[in-house]
Structure 1
Amino acid sequence: MYFPEFSVRAPLRAFLLLTLVTGCAHAHTFSLSWDNDLLLGLDQGYTNGVRLSYLSSPSSDQNAGSARLSRAAGQWLKGLPGIDPESQNQAVSFSLRQLMVTPEDISREQPSRDDLPYAGFLFLSSTAWSWDADSITGYGMHLGLVGPESGAEASQKWVHTLTGSEEPRGWDDQLGTDVVGGLQGTHARKLWRSGRKGQLEQELAWVGSARVSSFRSNARVGWIWRTGRYLPINFVPDYAGTSSTVGLPAALNDAGRGWSVFIGLGLEYVPYSYLEENADPYQFEESPVLAQVGIGVTWQWQNLQTALILRATTGEEQSNKESFSFGTLSLTWAY
C-alpha cells in the first residue's frame, strides 16, 4: 500500500513527536478506533475512519513526566468555564484521524452526480481536558487536509482488499486539495447514579459540544445512559461512534475488571459543512438538523478496554433522507 509522503507520514511523525515531548514516564493512555459501515453490512456515505489518540498523565500524578504538561494546561486555561486546577484533574490529548466518504455505488469510475462525492480527510487535533467525578470539560483545536493528500484512497482500497469487498473505482474524481481547521469545546455532566463498585451500577449523563471550523461547524447535545460493573470514572463513552477522544480521560481509572452497556441519543445542528459547500457539481444538500442514536458495549480488564459501538444518524443528505449508519471498534490501553 502506498501512502503519499506528505499526506500520511508527515502527520504521523508529528503525532509521534507530540507523544514523545510529553515525557516518557508511566500512566500514558493510548486509544485506537476504527469506524466502518462494513460492520453493519453497508458500503455508502461515511464509509471509514481511523483515529489514533494519546492522553498525557493526569495532573495529580506527581511521578509522571507528562503530568507537567497536564498541570501547565490547567493553569493556562483555568479562567475558562469548567476548568478548575484546584479541585479537578487535567490532561492533554493528541489525535491523528483519517476519514472518508463515498457514494453508494462505488463500482462506477464516473460517480453519479446525484450522490455523495468521494472525499478524504486527514486531521491532527489536540484537546485539554479537566474533570472530576461529576463533570468533564474539554477545549481543543484541529488542523487538517482534504483531498488526495489525505491518503484516503489508498486506505479504502487496502481495507477492501483485506475484507474481499468491491474495489472503489471513482477516487480519481474526489474533492481537491484544501486545508481546514478550527476550534471545539465539550462539556458533560452526570445527572444521576445508582449502585456501588463491584455491583450493578447505572448512570445518566448529558453532553454538549460546539465546533467552529472550516471543515464542519456544529452544535450537539446528547444524553447517555449506561449500566455495568466497575464502571470507569469517565461517564461519557463514545456513544456517537465518531472516534471521539472524549472517552480518553479517566477511561481506565479504578475500572477493575468489568463491563458496561450504554445507549446515547443526540441532536446536532450543522450551520456549515465543507462537504456541502464544495460538492459541486454533485447534487448534495445536507440537512441542518440531525438526530443520532448509538448503542454500545465495553469490556475492561485492568489497563485495557475494548468497545463496540453501533451508530445511526438521520439523513445527512436532504435529497434522499438516507441515514448514515456504521460501527466502531476501539481499543484503549494505559501503561
Structure 2
Amino acid sequence: MRPNALFFSVLLAAAAVHANDAAAQGRQACTNGHTRLPPTVNLRLDNDLFGGQDQGYSNGIQLTLVSPNLADYTDDPCIPRLARWVNRHLDALQPAQGFEQRNMIATFAQGIFTPTDFSRRDLIEDDRPYAAGLLMGLGYNARTGDYLQTTQLQFGIVGPSALGKQVQNAVHKALGDETFKGWDNQLHDEPVFRIVHERMHRYSAGDAHNGTWGWDAISHYGGSFGNLATYANTGAEVRFGLRLPDDFGSTPLRPAGENTAPTRHYNTGDRPFGAHLFLTSDVRWVLRDITLDGNTFRHSHSVDKRPFVGEVGYGIAVMRGRWKFALARYHRTREFDGQKQTPVFGSFTVSRAL
C-alpha cells in the first residue's frame, strides 16, 4: 500500500494548519505567567513505501495526542475541557502520586495484515489470515527524572468493520495497482481490547540535549493483556547525535512506544536543529495474537504462531523548532511456522508540539 503516504500527508497538512491557528489562539488566552510544556501530536505511518514488502503487516497508521503535563495543572482552564473531563474519569489508569510529569495519551490507529500472494481468492491455509484492526486508546505517561512508565487501554474491532479491505482496495485502484483478491477470507468481526504497560529507563552520557554531541540508551520492559494480543516484552534503544531530545525513544513501533512525554529542557518554539541516529530492539514472548491465532469465539483461519519474536529497527530523526521527523526500517523474525520471508517494513513519524 505504497500510496497511502500521499493520502495521509494531505490530511496531516490540513490538520497542521488548523492546529497552528488553534494553538496560537490558546497561547494568547493562556498567558498567566506559567511556563507550560505544550501538547504534542504524532502521526506515524508504517508501510513498504519506506522499505519492505506489501505483505504481512501491510500498512499501519496511528495518530497520537499527548497532553501537557497534568501533574500540576489538572484543573487549569488552559488545558482543553475534554482532556480535563476524561482525566477525572480515568482513575484506574492513572499512575500513583510522586511523578513530576503525568501526560494523558489518546491514540487512533488502523492496521492491515495480508498474506504473500495477492492474486489468490481461495483460503491460503499456510499463510497468515487477512485481517484489519481499527483501534482507539487512552492512557498515561508518568515521568520522574530518567524513568517513565506508561499504561494504555486500547479497544476497537478486528474484522470487516475495521475497513481494511475498503481502504487498501480504494488506494490501489486509484493508482492502478493490483488489489488483493482474498479479502472474503478475512477474520470475522470481533470486539477487541488490551491493556498495555511498559517501564522505561534512560541512561545518558551528560547533557547531550544542550548543544553537544552525545549518546544515550533507553531500556524497556512490560507486556500486554487482552484478546487482541497477550505477550511480555523487553528491549532497548541506543541513540547518538547532536542535541538528543530529553525523551524516551525515537519512533519506537511498540504499542506502548508513543512515549513522547513533553521534554523538560527546551523551549519548543526556539529549539535549534538537532539530529541523531538510533538503533532499537524488542523481544516478545507471545501467548496470543488475534491476527495469527484467528477469532477468539468463532472458527476462522489461523496459523501456528511462533512463541518468541524478535525485532530490530534503525533510522534517523531530525528536530527543528516544534517539529520532529523520524524515518526507520524494521526487520522482524518469522512470526509463524511456514512464513516464507522474514518481515521487513518502514516507518515514518511526524511529531509537532502545538
Superposition TM-score, scaled by structure 2 size? 0.79
**Per-residue CA distance 1:25-75 (angstroms, 9 max, x = gap):** 452211111111342241211100101111111124667324973995799
Q: Structure 1 runs of 4+ off > 6 angstroms?
A: none
Q: Does 1:297 align with 2:313?
A: no
Question: What secondary structure does 1:246 align onto?
Answer: coil
Q: Is the contact made by 1:294 and 1:312 (CA closer than 8 Å) also made in structure 2? A: yes
> How far apart in 2 are the matches of 1:173 and 1:79?
40
SS of structure 2 residue aligned to 1:319: coil
Aligned AA (2:342): S
Distance 1:200 1:74 in 2: 43
* Counterpart among 269, 275, 278 of residue 259 in structure 1: 275
Tell me which residue corresponds to 2:289: 273
Name 2:246's counterpart in structure 1: 233
Judged with a 3 Å threshold, the aligned counterparts in structure 2 of structure 1 residues 231 and 74 are, in CA distance, closer, same or farther, namely farther
Name the residue aligned to 1:7: none
Q: Of the candidates 216, 224, 227, which is equivalent to residue 203 of structure 1?
A: 216
Tell me how far 1:166 sits from its aligned partner: 2.3
Distance in 2 separating the partners of 1:251 and 1:317:
39
Change (3 A) 1:29 1:70: farther
Indicate the SS of the match to 2:179.
coil
Letter in 1 for 2:250: P
Aligned to 2:15: none
CA distance in 2, matches of 1:218, 1:332: 28
The AA in structure 1 aligned to 2:62 is: R
Q: Give 5+ residue unaligned stretches, structure 1.
A: 1-18
Superposition deviation, residue 111 in structure 1? 4.0
Tell me which amino acid in the other structure corresponds to 1:167.
T
SS of the residue aligned with 1:317?
Answer: coil
Distance in 2 of aligned mates of 1:135 and 1:74 = 25
**Distance 1:33-1:164 versus aligned 2 partners, 3 A rule:** farther
User: What letter is aligned with 1:144?
Assistant: G
Matched to 1:185, the amino acid is: H
Deviation at 1:303, TM superposition (A): 0.8
Query: C-alpha separation between the residues in 1 aligned to 2:202 and 2:162?
Result: 37
Corresponding residue of 2:58: 47
Is residue 174 of structure 2 the alignment partner of residue 158 of structure 1?
no
Question: Do the aligned partners of 1:243 and 1:328 also contact (CA within 8 Å) in 2?
Answer: no
Shift in CA distance, 328/78, structure 1 to aligned 2, threshold 3 Å: closer
> Would you say 1:89 and 2:101 are equivalent positions?
yes
Provide closer, same or farther for how the CA distance between residues 302 and 116 of structure 1 changes in structure 2, counting only shifts above 3 A: same
Residue of structure 2 equivalent to 1:33: 44
| TM-score between the two structures when normalised by the length of structure 1 | 0.83
The answer to whether the 8 Å contact 2:187/2:301 transfers is: no
Q: Please tell me whether the aligned partners of residues 242 and 276 of structure 2 are also in contact (alpha carbons under 8 angstroms).
A: yes
- Residues 121, 145 of structure 1: 8 Å contact kept: yes
The one-letter code of the counterpart of 1:323 is T
Letter of the 2:353 partner, please give it. Answer: A
**Equivalent residue in structure 1 for 2:189, among 157, 173, 177:** 177
CA contact (8 A) 1:56 1:70 kept: no
1:74 & 1:194 partners in 2: Cα distance? Answer: 39
How far is 1:302 from its partner? 1.0
Asked if the contact 2:150/2:256 (under 8 Å) is kept, the reply is no
In the alignment, is the contact (CA less than 8 A) between 1:56 and 1:66 conserved in 2?
no
Alpha carbons 1:73, 1:128 under 8 Å: kept:
no
Distance 1:151 1:71 in 2: 28
Give deviations 1:97-150, integer Å, cap 9, x for gaps: 100110001112224221111111000111111113301111121111011110
The one-letter code sitting in structure 2 at the alignment partner of 1:213 is: G
Instruction: Tell me which residue corresponds to 2:237.
Output: 224
TM superposition shift of 1:283? 5.7
* Cα distance change, pair 192–161 in 1 and its aligned pair in 2 (3 A): same
Q: 1:204 to 1:242 in 2, by over 3 A?
A: closer
Q: 1:299 to 1:218 in 2, by over 3 A?
A: same
Give 2:225's aligned residue. 212
Any idea what the Cα deviations from partners look like across 1:70-93, whole Å, max 9, x if unmatched? 99579947995xx444x4111101
Once residues 41 and 125 of structure 1 are traced to their aligned partners in structure 2, the CA distance between those partners, rounded to angstroms, is 27
For the Cα contact (< 8 Å) 1:146–1:178, is it kept in 2?
A: yes
Is the 8 Å Cα contact of residues 45 and 101 (structure 1) preserved in structure 2? yes
Question: 1:186 corresponds to which residue?
Answer: 198
Alignment coverage as a number of residue pairs: 310
